[in-house]
Amino acid sequence: MTIYRGPGGTGSATSDSDTTEFQEFLVQSQAARDAALAAQAAAELAETNAETAETNAETAETNAETAATNATSSASAAASSASSASTSATNAASSASAASTSASNASSSASAAAASASAALTSENNAETAETNAAASASSAASSASTATTQATNAAASASAALASETAAASSASSASSSASSASTSASNAATSASNAASSATSAANSATAAAASAASINPSDLVHISGTETITGTKTFSQTITGSITGNAGTATNGVVTTGSYANPAWITSLAGSKVSGDISGNAANVTGTVAIANGGTGQTTRQNAMDALAGSVTSGQYLRGNGTDVVMSAIQVADVPILNQNTTGTASNVTGTVAVANGGTGVTTSTGSGSVVLSTSPTLTTPNINSAQFATVTGTAPIYPCRAWVNFNGTGAVTLRGAGNVSSVTWISTGVYRVNFTTAMPDTTFAVLVSGEPAGGSGNKYYGYPNVAGSATVISYTGTGAVVDTSIIEVAIFR
């Protein structure tokens, strides 16, 4: 069952109706409306039939009066037809009998509206037959003069009876007319009742339609059902105590938290007095209010530095935390605490105390004897050094040594090629017998010396000439013995500065 309240409706939850009942009421109202319309149509048909019956009764009455008139005319014709009195009387009697039958039929037709109309029609036919017979009787009256008196008497009696039949027929027709009028009134009342019933049914159908539309306008998801799983939003206030079990978690609880379970992270508990907690607590607290003393596992301090000082026990300049085999205490550093360095070290020391001997990679002296970047100058006596794997020859005398700054051995014929070189990047052929030697690293200036030698070309007596070109190159020229420039296959150049 679905409990709902239409838009704008009022009343308590117990007065709300079931949408199913509304739908059934709508079906019943529509059926009642259809029945009322059918009743109205039947009443209108009955009214029409009653009016038709009334018309038929009036027609029967007219037919009866016509039949009586015809019978009287027949009797009069019979009386004046002495010659055929007997035949006329007989025929008149037959006509009267037929008229009586017609009147009786008319009376029966009045009592039953549809049957009366049929009987009146039969009476009219009989009356026409009587009229025909009366004419025949008048024709034969001339030959029946012997019985004229008797026939006249009988005809008079027949006329009297016909008149009585006419009176009775008129009375019956009047009664039929009254009955038809009453039937018409009843039919009219029935039609009015049917119209009223149809109006009531229409109103009921409209009410049911409006109620169904009101019920249909409600979203079923907005209703609260007796059974099924639903989510109810908004604030709901209950005026009475809820009976029965309720599962799930309440949004709030007044005067405490009710639980029988164990929770790792009960987010629904936002605060709890410390006095309410007993026993061990595992895990990490998000925060601690107050200062935990050292005796309780804290530091007794509120800052990091104060906590370190408190845990150290004392603060003495030049002392460090040192284990003595039993405890960690403040103590000066001991000689045994500094290990002997017996490994390689990298980097540059900011200072060295003492004099490093030559045997230990030092100079053995404590003062500088040179200037600028030259520290030792000529004071120490060095042994002949090795450069890479080559060894300098033993040096005698005090003259300074100036090494070669660049050299090259090249083929100057055809495309110039280098056989070997040092600090020379290339040799450029300028013209016949003229070459430019290009240095990889330029000399500091153009005051360097150029030494050239080579293999004679085309005989003996070749001459070679070299000079600085710029700081980055030197020019070399090869001559024959006769002074002509010539390309030479082997030329050696050395540069000193």
Any domain includes 334: no
**What is the domain extent for residue 432?**
404-496
- Please give the tally of structural domains in the chain: 2
Predicted pLDDT at 425: 97
pLDDT of 252 higher than 50: yes
The domain boundary residue, chosen from 179, 201, 216: 216
Helices (H), 217-303: none
Whether 485 is in a domain gets the answer yes
Distance CA 97, CA 104 (A): 10
pLDDT of residue 491: 95
Residue 260 lies in a domain: no
Residue 284 lies in a domain: no
H/E stretch holding 224: strand 224-225
pTM: 0.29
Q: How many CA atoms, within 13 angstroms, populate the side-chain half-sphere of residue 75? A: 25
Structure confidence at residue 353 as a pLDDT band (50, 70, 90): confident
DSSP string, 374-441: -SSTTSS-PPPPEETTEEPPPP-SS-----EEEEEEEE-SSS-EEEEEESEEEEEEEETTEEEEEESS
The answer to whether residue 472 scores a pLDDT higher than 70 is yes
User: Which range has the top average pLDDT, 81-95, 134-148, 377-391, 458-472?
Assistant: 458-472
Q: Residue 452: which H helix or E strand, with range?
A: strand 449-454
Closest by Cα among 474, 321, 458, 360 to 408: 474
Q: What is the pLDDT of residues 297-322, one digit of tens each?
A: 889 999 999 988 888 877 888 888 88
* 447, part of any domain: yes
Looking at residues 39-65, what average pLDDT do you find?
75
Span 379-428, pLDDT tens digits: 556 666 666 667 777 778 888 888 899 999 999 998 999 999 999 999 99
Q: pLDDT tens across 327-338, in order?
A: 888 888 887 777
Judge whether residue 98 has pLDDT over 60: no
Last residue of a domain, one of 183, 216, 249: 216
In angstroms, rounded to a whole number, what is the distance separating the alpha carbons of residues 120 and 474? Answer: 165
pLDDT at 186: 58
Least confident range from 227-231, 411-415, 471-475, 482-486: namely 227-231
pLDDT at 400: 86
- Alpha-carbon gap, residue 375 to 418, rounded angstroms: 40
Please indicate, yes or no, if residue 25 is contained in any of the structural domains. yes
| Structure confidence by residue, pLDDT tens digits, 105-129 | 534 533 543 343 354 356 456 646 6
Among 167, 194, 216, identify where a domain stops.
Answer: 216
Q: Does 106 map to a domain?
A: yes
* Contacts with 220 (C-beta within 8 Å, 6 or more apart), sequence order: 2
- Strand, helix or coil at 455? coil
Residue 250 lies in a domain: no
Q: What is the 3-state secondary structure (H, E, C) of 330-344?
A: EEECCHHHCCCCCCC
